[in-house]
């Protein structure tokens, strides 16, 4: 579970670094703090090209956060089929999708009131 002593911006940067490490695609940050009754402050959404890459992204995020911040997710679900894996770091929830599942659920539209930031990648 994310401790209050870990700055949320440091957690976000570390998670994004974990995604980039294994070339996760289409990284989006949704800031939910201005929306009432949300379950967390931020969503980080990205996609992999296969269930193997989705698993690699999830493992890379866990490794980076554990190594850099000595933290682990409070809860993870979806690793059985690796089409949509949710990683709950309490203040930050990470959604790792396969492209077709991301397009189907389109959670960016569901949270259309959130401030959205596209993360530029160099690959």
User: What confidence tens digit (pLDDT) does each residue in 84-115 have?
Assistant: 999 999 999 999 999 999 999 999 999 999 99
pLDDT in tens, 43-78: 999 999 999 999 999 999 999 999 999 999 999 999
- What pLDDT, on the 0 to 100 scale, is given for residue 95? 98
Alpha carbons 1 and 84: distance in angstroms, whole number = 21
Which residue in 11, 46, 63, 41 sits closest to 120, CA to CA? 46
pLDDT of residue 4: 57
Query: What is the pLDDT at residue 43?
Result: 98
Residue 123 confidence class, pLDDT cut points 50, 70, 90: confident
Look up tokens 């059985």; give the residue: 80
Mean pLDDT, to the nearest integer, of 3-13?
Answer: 85
Residues 6+ apart with CB under 8 A from 106: none
Domain 8-111, CATH number (from 3.40.50.720, 3.30.460.10, 3.40.50.2300, 3.20.20.70): 3.30.460.10
Q: Are strands 115-118 and 25-31 parallel, antiparallel or unpaired?
A: antiparallel
Please tell me the pTM assigned to this model. 0.94
């Amino acid at each position: 579970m994310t401790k209050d002593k870990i700055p949320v911006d440091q957690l976000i940067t570390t998670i994004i670094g974990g995604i980039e490490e294994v070339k996760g695609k289409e990284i989006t940050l949704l800031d939910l703090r201005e929306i009432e009754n949300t379950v967390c402050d931020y969503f980080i959404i990205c996609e992999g090209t296969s269930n193997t890459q989705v698993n690699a992204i999830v493992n890379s995020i866990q490794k980076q956060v554990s190594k850099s911040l000595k933290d682990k997710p409070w809860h993870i679900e979806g690793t059985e089929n690796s089409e949509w894996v949710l990683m709950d770091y309490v203040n930050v929830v990470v959604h790792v999708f396969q492209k077709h599942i991301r397009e189907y659920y389109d959670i960016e539209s569901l949270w259309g009131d959130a401030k959205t930031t596209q993360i530029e990648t160099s690959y």
